[in-house]
Amino acid sequence: MKIIRFILISVFLSAFSVRAAEPTFGDLAVLLAKGYFGNYVPQDAPLQRCVIFLNRRGISFSLFDLVDQNKAVTKEDVARVVGQSTLLFSGEAEVVNGSIKKPIEGKTWVDYCLLNDINTVPIWTGLLERTAEGPLPEVRFFFKR
């Protein structure tokens, strides 16, 4: 009986526990633009400017993903933007329909990054650390307006 009571109390309390913030596409766009492309994007640039900069270069961010604050970024999303950025920097980017196309190496962007020794872990870890308390200021400001 004590075990059942413990389980019920645990389930009840977990419903009220604070969930760690999950990074959004807006957070990813800001960190990518100001980090990888910091020489071209001012550190005080708002979210819109970061997204426009990236989209114009083929590192695509969907408007639907950006405005959905509940849609969390996955490791595959991070691999895509890091892989696209790497291709852009190397001059090997092929833009198709406004987005940098994944080369035939690997089935996914994660595979592409692994096959080409592109380490996405520091980017993923940094994204999680920077958004642990919630969205970045640029993202919060965008949604307050």
Host domain of residue 131: 21-144
pTM (2 d.p.): 0.82
Single out the residue of 75, 74, 77, 66 nearest to residue 102, CA to CA: 77
How far apart are alpha carbons 57 and 71 in whole angstroms?
23
The reply to whether 15 falls in a domain is no
Which pLDDT does position 22 carry in this prediction? 87
The total domain count for the chain is 1
The reply to whether 4 falls in a domain is no
The reply to whether 12 falls in a domain is no
The reply to whether 98 falls in a domain is yes
Which pLDDT does position 20 carry in this prediction? 52
**Mean per-residue pLDDT pooled into runs of 10, the chain (145 residues):** 42 39 92 94 96 96 90 94 96 95 94 95 93 90 79
